[in-house]
Structure 1
Amino acid sequence: MTALRLRPASGCSDVPALVAIWRSAVDATHDFLSDDDRDEIEKHLAADYFPAVRLTVAELDGRAVGFCGVVDGDLAMLFIDAGERGRGIGSALIDYAIEHEDVTTVDVNEQNTSALEFYRHQGFEMIGRSETDEAGRPYPILHMRLAGDADASGN
């Protein structure tokens, strides 16, 4: 793999690429999400969700291929372009988030089994479950924290 570069998001100039990455990743991994719910979430990315987190962008050859967003030690989002999955980009982003952003917790859709296994492989364990997502949609959320991090809040 070409050298991966991680950098802070550059405000508005990164938004179109990050939305495209989000859509690619969601289309590949969130088959449980209704089209209407997916479109509604996408409408809020730039205005509501991205500004609420500290975004880190992963680049290959100057092209954004993934990103993560962190708030208060929680990995609020991690998305990799579908064509780049399996190349270690997600692992690099989560390692960065743990080391530099003090990430100790993450929430994951229960139906997204590949993400659940990914986070388990990265050292997270389940500490709770909610029947719906944060907007009240019928997508159960699993709350996870880094194994051995008893001080992490369990949401």
Structure 2
Amino acid sequence: MHLREGTPADWDRLLEIWEASVRATHAFLSEEDIAALRPEVRDAALPALELWVLCGDDGELLGFMGLDSAKLEALYIAPSSSRRGGGRMLVERARRLKGPLAVDVNEQNPAALRFYEAMGFRVCGRSPLDSAGRPFPLLHLVE
């Protein structure tokens, strides 16, 4: 596996990875929630973030992260490629680029919290709503 900067040509595949990953890890989201989030990810998040993509040896896109300064705004791995070190590679690249990081994690996604805690993050706060005011509590983590 290797990393490279993301480009607009990657966005369709990244949206597919986002959706597959969300379906595998965000059981608290309904089909309506996912449908409402999809255009936000496609039209706002992907164009706005500094994207890094995780590629297989054959060049296939397996995951990605999105950064906004030193905040890790997105990290998604295709379910078929999870637990193979790609998430760690992405976080380590972000650290080399940005220094100490911050990240928000859905409280209802305990696997993500365990991952970030294993990567050295600690919870420093909580919000009862997500950034769009939806009832999905966020845990705020820092290094």
Q: Which category of TM-score, normalised to the shorter sequence, fits these structures?
A: over 0.9
1:94-133, aligned counterparts within 5 Å? 94-133=91-130
CA distance in 1 between partners of 2:20 and 2:100 (Å): 25
CA distance in 2 between partners of 1:103 and 1:81 (Å): 25
Gaps of 5+ in 2: none
Q: Could you give the per-residue CA deviations for residues 13-48 of structure 1, whole angstroms, max 9, x where no partner exists?
A: 101110010011000000001211111111221211
Gaps of 5+ in 1: 147-155
Overall identity of the aligned pairs, in %: 39
The one of 39, 58, 68 equivalent to 2:65 is: 68
Letter in 2 for 1:15: W
- The answer to whether the aligner puts 1:27 opposite 2:23 as a matched pair is yes
CA distance in 1 between partners of 2:3 and 2:100 (Å): 16
The one of 2, 6, 12 equivalent to 1:5 is: 2
Secondary structure of 2:64's aligned partner: strand
**With structure 2 as the length reference, what TM-score do the two structures score?**
0.96
CA distance in 2 between partners of 1:50 and 1:86 (Å): 24
**With structure 1 as the length reference, what TM-score do the two structures score?**
0.89
Q: Alpha carbon RMSD of aligned pairs, Å? A: 0.9
Q: Where do 4+ consecutive residues of structure 1 move more than 3 Å?
A: none
Aligned equivalent of 2:90: 93
CA distance in 2 between partners of 1:96 and 1:113 (Å): 23
Number of aligned residues: 142
